[in-house]
């Protein structure tokens, strides 16, 4: 009691205890969290920042009336293009196979010549 009177008379503040400091820190944290929650709840009521919607050309979206003859011609043209692409792929594959076969034949001939010991001089005389 005397200590408190002396502190009051001489204007000295009482030193805070450790538990009081901890409580103040926890209260500050709780207040900050409360403020953040209130801001997030209030953000739902604010109108959203609207972005300009993209311009849509409705004429392009309308279905186009195409007669069966025109549609058939379009389908046939597409089939012809696909058939041409497939034919070119087959032709390229056949050419690749021929070249591969030719190369393997040449390699096998060279191997046989080496095994038999036929030299280049003998080939040139023939």
pLDDT in tens, 86-109: 999 999 999 998 888 888 888 888
Q: Which two tokens stand for residue 46?
A: 């604010």
pLDDT in tens, 41-81: 998 888 777 777 888 888 888 877 888 899 999 999 999 99
4 CB-near residues (< 8 Å, 6+ apart): 14
The pTM for the full model equals: 0.36
Measured distance CA(42)–CA(46) in Å, rounded:
7
Helical spans, DSSP H, in the chain: 2-10, 18-45, 58-61, 68-116, 120-125
Measured distance CA(30)–CA(56) in Å, rounded:
49
Q: Given this model, what pLDDT does residue 83 score? A: 96
Residue 38 has pLDDT above 90, yes or no: yes
Measured distance CA(33)–CA(10) in Å, rounded:
39
> Running DSSP on this structure, what letter comes out for residue 12?
P
Nearest to 15 by CA among 3, 27, 25, 26: 3
> In 3-state terms, what secondary structure has residue 64?
coil
Instruction: State the CB neighbour count (10 A cutoff) for residue 53.
Output: 6
> In 3-state terms, what secondary structure has residue 46?
coil
């Amino acid at each position: 009691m005397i200590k408190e009177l002396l502190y009051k008379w001489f204007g000295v503040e009482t030193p805070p205890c450790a538990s009081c400091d901890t409580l103040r820190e926890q209260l500050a944290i709780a207040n900050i969290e409360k403020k953040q929650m209130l801001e997030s709840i209030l953000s739902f009521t604010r109108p959203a920042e609207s972005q300009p919607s993209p311009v849509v050309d409705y004429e392009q979206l309308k279905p186009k009336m195409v007669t069966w003859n025109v549609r058939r011609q379009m389908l046939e043209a597409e089939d012809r293009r696909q058939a041409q692409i497939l034919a070119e792929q087959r032709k390229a594959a056949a050419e690749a196979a021929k070249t591969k076969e030719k190369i393997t034949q040449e390699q096998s001939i060279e191997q046989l010549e080496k095994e038999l010991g036929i030299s280049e001089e003998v080939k040139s005389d023939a």
